Structure 1
Amino acid sequence: MVEEQEIPAKSSMEESDATASETVMGNSNMEGQAVEKSIEERVTEPSEIVAEDSTMEEQVVADPSETKAEDLTMEDQVAGPAWEPIFKSERGDFLFHFDMETITPNLEVSTNVIDVWSQILNVLELYKEDDRLPTRYFFKISGINLLYFIEKHTNEEKLQSFTKSVDECFREDEKHLKSLENFDILFFPVCRENHLYLICADFINGLFRVIDNSSNGTDFEERYKSIPEEIKKVLVAYLDQVKHPNTERIRNTKPIRMQMKWRTKNNHVDCGVFLMLHMESYHGLKNWDCGLFLESDKQKRQLDLLRSKYAAKILLSDLNLIKNKFLKLVQVFEEKSENERKKMIDYAIVHRKERESS
């Protein structure tokens, strides 16, 4: 397969220390302080998602007998019961404590976290203010993984599964979402052999792109097998089935692996964070720059900051019916010193296995 021309990114040699923490929120021009803004500061800002009928504060009333966050032990604060719900939406999406812990540094992000992230991004798309940006839809890993288990399912079974997934998504989605015709770019997060990456069907530019943080593996077929082609095949079959007006724009396109400058060779743990950032920031632009440095200690610090940002964004989303339970907890955690926070996180990681079996 042909690889796409490299996309320029900031070189750490060209940047001053003053911009080392530059924001990693898409094409934003915000200063680095925006990324390093504490969780406590973020949670006091207006909510990004508007509930149609009532606020989540009205829907969820705190239990007066609930333990105060400041009285919780270290284990309660960070290493809570492994299967305690920590995110719950009206659509039935759940994240447990054990899932959410995977967003802490040096752990591989759970696919369940990615699925909730897709849901949050879909709602944010409904309320975005810039109409010049292309419309985007984000599928869940759990909704499309059948498409690339090539050896186990027939093409007809895959099409039926994909059709069911799409129908369920749009039956439950909000506002005016009715069909894939409403969207310019479709996002398919993929998990294969414990590696997470992104596939995008771009109807505007007529492109089918693979966006992978890893630069390892120069042979396209060897690295991705036939997963991109299988997803494209099922997508085109579905588009034909529903008589989508833009099917021809991607029917004969070949999957292209994007060669971003911020790709990595030695980072084998942050693919989920890269995926979340790529989903958030990619709008089909040719000169897309997500704000990350080249692979380096600076880039690693950016990724760790993103983990904190995304954890807060998920926990405190208005989609989370139990967010009030964790609002105080997040604030208390931020009040701890950096050393205390590190100890709490290390404690949670060390005790993950024993809590999983409890």
Structure 2
Amino acid sequence: MLYFGNNLVAKQKDFRTMASGYISTNIVQIWCQIMSVLDMRRSIDQPKRVFFSEVVFMTLEKATNLQKSKSVASRAIFNNLCRALDHQLESISLDISDASLVFFSILRHQHFYLMCFNFMTSRLQVIDNRPTPERIKAKNKYEECPEKLLVAFTKYLTLKKNPLAKKMKSMKVEYMKMPWQNEENAVDFHEAYADLYRHVNSRLYTFLTSLRAKYAATILMSPMNTLLPKVTKATKEIYKQSK
């Protein structure tokens, strides 16, 4: 085990996935938490950002008509969502009442993308490196997942009497179009296009690989890592042996 903090764990096998290809969900969960903590140090003129891992949306996979349904199954799904949100917020003592951007990492069909509640523009923005294929509506591609999250998160904020709940009334779904979207990427876009750029742009591939190394080091050396002394000691030993 190389990382343990706030009940999140990453082993050597998880960090090995940072080399290339698909990244371990354990790493993604830890990175979301670290990003939220790092944002606490933002400058006063910067918007407040909050990052939730894919665990939250996974609770909604089987949800249907959460807005009106009062069935036992619907209540259980919503309760699981609340527990997942509460856990991620309470683990780092985070208040989201003044957040400007709330990101949800989504993992479906072995593919990561993001949904962001942008309270500055009143839009729930779907950010995906893969474009919507021609002749297919975005709403069909995402199987109404944005609508599910919009309803569920609104209910959660209302239950918690969070000031953001009022802003949810004007929130509309927006499918973002970016010039770097492509169909060829088979790797989660959180870490981008390693396989594609290996052939197209060796400099960019090197840059992306160095980013992964930077992220791995940031996770390992985070103050949130209770195993940091152990990791530091082991690193020094390895360095001595290499000389």
TM-score bracket, normalised by the shorter chain, equals: 0.7 to 0.9
Give the alignment of 1:1-358 within 5 angstroms. 85-89=1-5, 91-105=6-20, 107-128=21-42, 130-150=43-63, 154-174=73-93, 177-178=94-95, 180-218=96-134, 219-274=137-192, 296-297=200-201, 298-327=203-232
Secondary structure at 2:97's aligned position in 1? helix
The answer to whether the Cα contact below 8 Å between 2:117 and 2:123 also exists between their aligned partners in 1 is yes
Partner of 1:4: none
Shift of 1:301: 3.1
Q: 1:222 to 1:300 in 2, by over 3 A?
A: farther
TM-score (norm 2): 0.81
* Conserved? CA contact 1:111–1:191, under 8 Å: no
Distance 1:315 1:108 in 2: 19
Residue by residue over 1:279-300, the C-alpha shift from the partner in whole angstroms, topping out at 9 and shown as x without a partner, is xxxxxxxxxxxxxx9x942443
- The answer (yes or no) to whether the contact 1:209–1:256 under 8 Å persists in 2 is yes
Paired letter, 2:120: I
Q: Which whole-Å CA distance do the structure 1 matches of 2:111 and 2:62 have between them?
A: 15
Structure 1 residues 324 and 147: CA distance shift in structure 2, 3 A = same
Larger Rg: 1
Q: Secondary structure at the match of 1:221?
A: helix
The answer to whether the 8 A contact 2:122-2:170 is kept is no
Rate the CA distance shift 1:264–1:165 in 2: closer, same or farther, 3 A: same
CA distance in structure 2 between the partners assigned to 1:216 and 1:204 by the alignment: 25
Tell me: CA distance 1:301–1:257, structure 2 relative to 1, closer, same or farther (3 Å): farther
Q: Which amino acid aligns with 1:259?
A: K
Q: Which has the higher strand share?
A: 2
1:108-138 per-residue CA deviation (whole Å, 9 max, x = no partner) reads 011111100011112112222x111111111
Q: Measured at CA, do residues 327 and 194 of structure 1 come closer, stay the same or move farther in structure 2, by a change above 3 Å?
A: same
Q: Which has the higher contact order (CA 8 A, sep 6+)?
A: 1
Distance 2:92 2:217 in 1: 23
Relative to the length of structure 1, the TM-score reads 0.57
Q: Distance in 2 between matches of 1:330 and 1:264?
A: 39
SS in 2 for 1:301: helix
**CA displacement 1:255-284 (0-9 Å, x = unmatched):** 212112222321212423149xxxxxxxxx
Deviation per residue, 1:53-103 (Å, 9 max, x gap): xxxxxxxxxxxxxxxxxxxxxxxxxxxxxxxx11111x2210011111111
Structure 1 SS opposite 2:3: strand
Against the structure 1 CA distance between its residues 97 and 122, is the aligned structure 2 distance closer, same or farther, given a 3 Å change threshold?
Answer: same
* 1:322 CA displacement: 1.6
Cα root mean square deviation, aligned: 2.7
Structure 1: runs of 5 or more not aligned: 1-84, 276-292, 337-358
Partner of 1:200: helix, strand, or coil? strand
Question: In structure 2, the residue corresponding to 1:312 is in which secondary structure?
Answer: helix
Corresponding letter in the other structure for 1:100: F
Given that 1:135 and 1:183 are in contact with CA atoms closer than 8 Å, whether structure 2 keeps it comes out as yes
What SS class does the counterpart of residue 186 from structure 1 fall into?
A: strand
Moved more, 190-199 or 322-331: 322-331
Distance 1:167 1:261 in 2: 36
Deviation at 1:148, TM superposition (A): 2.8
Determine if contact 2:55/2:84 at 8 Å carries over to the other structure.
no
Whole-angstrom CA distance in 2 between matches of 1:196 and 1:330: 32
Q: Secondary structure at the match of 2:124?
A: strand
1:315-340, Cα deviation, whole Å (9 max, x unpaired): 1111112224334666858x98xxxx
Partner residue in 1 for 2:69: none
Q: May I ask how many residue pairs the two structures share in their alignment?
A: 226
| Secondary structure of 1:165's aligned partner | helix
